[in-house]
Structure 1
Amino acid sequence: MEKKIKLCLVGGEDAHKRIELSNYLLQHGFEITILGTKDYDYPEHIQFIKYNLNRKLNLFSDIASIFQYRKIFKEHKFDIVQTFDTKPAFLVPLASFGQPHKVVRTITGLGKLFVSKGLSTRIAQSVYVFLHTLARKRVFCTTFQNLDDRNFFLEKALVTEKNHSMIYGSGIDLKSIKEKAARSRSPFTAICVSRLVYAKGIIQYLEAAKMCADKGFGFKFLLVGPLEENSEKLNEKILNQYAPYVEWLGKRSDVPDLLLGSDVFVLPTFYREGFARVLLEASAYGLPLVTTDVPGVTDIARHMKEGLIVKPKDSEALAEAIIALYENETLADELSKNALLNVQNYSMEVVSKAYSDLYQKAYEN
């Protein structure tokens, strides 16, 4: 690559999660700027620009965000602008009309908007489709992280067969993972690492832990992640009620160590995931998976290959799958081996090369 292509990655409050990908893209010769809504200790070789974004739909704040984008784009004259968040996926294209840069966006999941039901949800879904209809003419390429989201966009004519691609995830830095889980089974330990919201299947995980205990199994259940919901369905009081069965550790900085000390990774989500990266992280440590049949999950884990797949919202099936991996160590070993092989397909080298090729194509087009 002769000239350094000026690449802008647009995210929200978790824009810092693109630092690893950015480091690899720098090796491909790109000049990187990250736009995000939350301060973070970014490395010196990555320029960071903070902006304001309301996560909820709000006409006035969204128009303000569009004007922020336009001002930043005009000042910095990027060659390519890439979005990695729900609202920037349609706000950035709208802000890019009349600007010379190419827009690439990654759909990172359709989320709870397509899990909930009711009139208000249907209205919100219609607004979502309408906004993407307005934005589609200004997008060079839309990348998807799972086939269900791609099929939805094709069905709604939000993309064509020619202007979209599949890039699974944002890459796993396998070089940084030096050890594999010992899976010592002393005691047999299940771990769930997730944001604690109802749609992530947290209640089903708690219930499955109790079912295992009621059947006489002395398993250890770990729940790792911050509580991000306080509703009748999920709150701190409910978590405390299951304290005899599940050890809730909250947000932790030593997740790798916790994974190394576990025997099985459980993700009971019924949320419409974009790409359940946490399953790949668990796979990289050699943990067999127990998870659910939902978009963004089954693109990663296959039943009886990398893990056991159960129906969403089925606590009993979840418990039975965990017990099955305890009772059948040969099966657990096979799933672990397959998980380690499968995660190689999602390495940072593979994913960064896919994005680099796409950006080069956009720049030369």
Structure 2
Amino acid sequence: MHNFEKAPIFVYVINVDWYFELHWLQRALATLNSGAEVHLVMGMTDTRLMDSFSQYGLVCHQWNIDRKSLNPFFNLKGLVDLYQLLKSISPDVIHAITIKPNIYVGLICHLLKIPYLLSITGTGIIFSGKALSTRLIRPAIRLLYKASKRKDIKRRIIFENNEDRAYFINTGLCDSPEAVTILGAGVNPDIYEPVAERETDTPIILFAARLLWDKGLGDLIEAAKRLRSQGLKFSIQVAGIIDNSTVNAIDQRVLEAWGREGAIQWLGTEKNMPRLLAQANIVVLPTFYGEGVPRILIEAASCERAIVASDIPGCREIVRHGINGLLVPARDIEALAEALAQLIQNPEIRKIMGKQGREIVERDFSEQQVISETLSLYKELLS
């Protein structure tokens, strides 16, 4: 393990607590265990999470950030609040995660002259969305990323996949030497362990993701209609976080209506993902969102489940077509239906793909590897 010489002060700046718990908690705890003092600055939505972070020894600060607001006045207030908070903590390194914290921290570190890291956890709706509001704001976001480049402050920009890294470098949003790829959040293969599929004539297809339209659940429902009209037997389980603080959220009433129609089985938010994966036969993510590396796909591969996913950056990183799953063009319902049909009808192929997925995770996507690579970057910025 990397141990720091003297106790440096680290601050993680992130938009919301549940996202931090899901993707970043293990890295923050490893930083703490290496001898650092660790602060979390974020939008706190759940007091139970705040209590559990504090019990670990992480210092929590509430930051009022509206993740979907484009109101300049409100965003300026968020920036000023963050500046004052960071100045009072006086950290040695700041790690900002997701677009708004990235931009705010990039600008603030100009003034405070503190080494920092930005994590690009996929390009998100801002870079991939088709709505007019996102298209209008995109040039401003790009300009702000460019504005935060400085030669006299050490920084690293961490990408979850190489295609996002190339895009940022090629469009001048960052420089090649400062851009690093660390593949997703990783999972612990001992927790996400292989469980043999239950033999069944009605395979369970699992869709588990943040409930945004861009994650492709609507396309999955359409593909399922076609498959059922061909007489194929299967069921679709849907689990995930309903995230109303973002545009493109699927309304819970829509999910409940699909449940009543028998299109899906709506499970709500599920904490025990290994259990959910153990009872599934196939995992699907027909996303057209700007992904980093979707965690559910790493978890699925670790549990030896065959995957159907969109052929886009991030999904391509973990799913190798024909090896541990099938990649289909995003928004192509016909191709999605065909890929699902192939796996529904072939339990043997699913089994082989599952085994190969597990090997990919053990080699490239273990949590330990991600933690080790992240702590190495921290040491580099401190030196």
Query: Match of 2:28, as an amino acid?
Result: S
Shift of 1:97: 2.1
Aligned counterpart, 2:224: 209
**What secondary structure is seen at the aligned counterpart in 1 of 2:15?**
coil
Aligned counterpart, 1:240: 257
Against the structure 1 CA distance between its residues 163 and 234, is the aligned structure 2 distance closer, same or farther, given a 3 Å change threshold?
closer
- Aligned with 2:97 (options 60, 84, 105): 84
Could you tell me how far apart the structure 2 residues matched to 1:190 and 1:146 are? 26
Q: How does 1:219-234 map to 2 (within 5 A)?
A: 219-228=234-243
Deviation digits for residues 269-318 of structure 1, max 9, x if unmatched? Answer: 11111221111111121111001111221111111122100111122221
Aligned counterpart, 2:186: 171
| 1:350 lines up with 2:363 in the alignment | no
**What secondary structure is seen at the aligned counterpart in 2 of 1:174?**
coil
| 1:308 lines up with 2:326 in the alignment | yes
Could you tell me how far apart the structure 2 residues matched to 1:28 and 1:194 are? 32
Aligned counterpart, 1:363: 382
Deviation digits for residues 3-25 of structure 1, max 9, x if unmatched? Answer: 12221111111333322222223
Aligned counterpart, 1:51: 63
- Aligned with 1:35 (options 41, 49, 56): 41
Shift of 1:106: 0.7
Aligned counterpart, 1:184: 199
| Native 8 Å contact 1:15 1:34 kept in 2 | no
| Native 8 Å contact 1:209 1:246 kept in 2 | no
| Native 8 Å contact 2:192 2:299 kept in 1 | no
| 1:198 lines up with 2:197 in the alignment | no
Deviation digits for residues 100-154 of structure 1, max 9, x if unmatched? Answer: 4211111112212233336544321101101111112256111111122212211
Shift of 1:253: 3.0
Shift of 1:62: 2.3
| 1:66 lines up with 2:66 in the alignment | no
| The 10-residue stretch of structure 1 (249-258 or 299-308) with the greater mean CA deviation from structure 2 | 249-258
**What secondary structure is seen at the aligned counterpart in 2 of 1:157?**
coil
- Aligned with 2:165 (options 150, 160, 167): 150
Could you tell me how far apart the structure 2 residues matched to 1:250 and 1:118 are? 27
Could you tell me how far apart the structure 2 residues matched to 1:209 and 1:265 are? 14
Could you tell me how far apart the structure 2 residues matched to 1:304 and 1:159 are? 34
| 1:25 lines up with 2:31 in the alignment | yes
| Native 8 Å contact 2:242 2:249 kept in 1 | no
Q: How does 1:126-145 map to 2 (within 5 A)?
A: 126-137=139-150, 140-145=155-160
| Native 8 Å contact 1:78 1:101 kept in 2 | yes
Query: Match of 1:44, as an amino acid?
Result: Y
| The 10-residue stretch of structure 1 (229-238 or 115-124) with the greater mean CA deviation from structure 2 | 229-238
Query: Match of 1:164, as an amino acid?
Result: A
Shift of 1:182: 2.7
**What secondary structure is seen at the aligned counterpart in 2 of 1:98?**
helix
Shift of 1:362: 0.6
**What secondary structure is seen at the aligned counterpart in 1 of 2:318?**
coil
Q: How does 1:245-260 map to 2 (within 5 A)?
A: 245-260=263-278
| The 10-residue stretch of structure 1 (198-207 or 313-322) with the greater mean CA deviation from structure 2 | 313-322
Could you tell me how far apart the structure 2 residues matched to 1:181 and 1:33 are? 41
Shift of 1:351: 0.5
Query: Match of 1:350, as an amino acid?
Result: Q
Deviation digits for residues 213-248 of structure 1, max 9, x if unmatched? Answer: 211122121111245579999653476257323212
| The 10-residue stretch of structure 1 (40-49 or 347-356) with the greater mean CA deviation from structure 2 | 40-49
Give the unaligned 5+ runs of structure 2: none
- Aligned with 2:20 (options 15, 18, 25): 15
Could you tell me how far apart the structure 1 residues matched to 2:249 and 2:14 are? 30
- Aligned with 2:350 (options 324, 332, 337): 332
Aligned counterpart, 1:268: 286
- Aligned with 2:176 (options 142, 158, 161): 161
Could you tell me how far apart the structure 1 residues matched to 2:354 and 2:71 are? 45
- Aligned with 2:309 (options 291, 296, 320): 291
Could you tell me how far apart the structure 2 residues matched to 1:347 and 1:217 are? 36
CA RMSD of aligned residues (A): 2.4
Query: TM-score, normalized by length of structure 2?
Result: 0.88
Shift of 1:57: 2.9
Percentage identity across aligned positions? Answer: 26
